[in-house]
Homo-oligomer: A and B are copies of this chain.
Amino acid sequence: MKIKTYMISLFVTAAISTSASVIAKEPVQPISPVKDINLAQVELGKKLFFDPRLSKSGFISCNSCHNLSMGGTDNIKTSIGHNWQQGPINSPTVLNSSHNIAQFWDGRAADLKEQAGGPIENPGEMASTHTLAIDILQSIPGYVTEFQQVFGSNKIDIDKVTQAIAEFEKTLVTPNSRFDKWLLGDKNAINKTELAGYNLFKQAGCTACHYGEALGGTSFQKMGLIKPYKTTNKAVGLAGVTGKDADRFKFKVPTLRNVEMTYPYFHDGEAATLTEAVDIMGKLQLGKQFTKSENTQIVAFLKTLTGEQPSFTLPILPPSVDKTPKPTPFN
């Protein structure tokens, strides 16, 4: 992984230096490769990300709703939580999430580390408690040894757990999309329709919010800016965090990286297809009715944003022992 990362890093650096002038003009930049990563924490965090013992049931892991086989999402309108509870909001992708200004749709967590602690003790998600989760991990010799190796202490706590998960999540970047290759100078990396879509995407004003490396994730915007968005979903967005009425229905602008894989769309998951999402965004956010042809072009462009998905060996989890608290899925 280290070698691969370095190779990507060298490649991108070289490419950027030769076409810096091209990139500088664009509102979108190639996604940065991961760097300054603690690989020992990453390996531990990967196990924790896949470990359903962090949930009350022993059945739900981080990967259940941020499935790394499926664009870091669950591809369901709103997620399934403990006891099959219907979640209140669409699971945002964990891919490239280190680029986000804050975490969750309403930004209530400052960073990945703070985010990671949330679902574990959310009664509608993993429905455990930090205390129980730590008791479980602390009982497992394989974890105790690894925490000792990684953090120099065999005393497991939620701070170390979320630190390791966040460090793993930082590695989940998706470089080398066809669009990034185009940005870096490979003019054949995207076709005419896709390029027309990108130009339209800029001209129409989409890049006012969907800009930068992640094409989003860097600001909060009102859902339904020009025309109101109609939904039965009860999420109020940023207002729930700031308490300000002006922040009602302001949500973090989602990244458009890998958007082909992160369906369905919007905070309520009510847009099933990219065609639908582009149409609604045009009308509600930009006051624009895209023609069928324009919509097709923009959707074609959006599909060039699918990058290399994280590639790693499925982690093998250290087994529980006799004293490990048992999962209680049905009570």
Contacts and interface: CB of A to CB of B under 8 A. Distances in A.
Contacts of A273: 322
30 contacts: A52-B74, A53-B75, A58-B75, A58-B76, A59-B76, A59-B80, A68-B314, A69-B316, A69-B317, A70-B317, A70-B319, A71-B319, A75-B327, A76-B327, A76-B329, A80-B329, A84-B84, A84-B329, A86-B329, A263-B320, A264-B326, A272-B322, A274-B322, A275-B322, A310-B314, A311-B313, A311-B316, A312-B313, A313-B314, A314-B314
A205 interface: no
A309 interface: yes
A43 interface: no
Interface of A: 50-53, 57-59, 64, 67-71, 74-76, 80, 83-84, 86, 260-261, 263-264, 272-275, 309-317, 319-320, 322, 326-327, 329-330
Contacts of A314: 68-69, 310-314
Contacts of A84: 83-84, 329
A45 B273 CA distance: 27
A306 B68 CA distance: 27
Given A272-B326, A320-B263, A57 B80 contact: yes
A170 B330 CA distance: 32
Contacts of A315: 69
Contact of A50 (B51, B69, B86): B69
Contacts of A264: 326
A316 B309 contact: yes
Contacts of A86: 329-330
B52 A67 contact: yes
A3 to B, nearest CB: 16
A52 B97 CA distance: 23
A314 B83 CA distance: 27
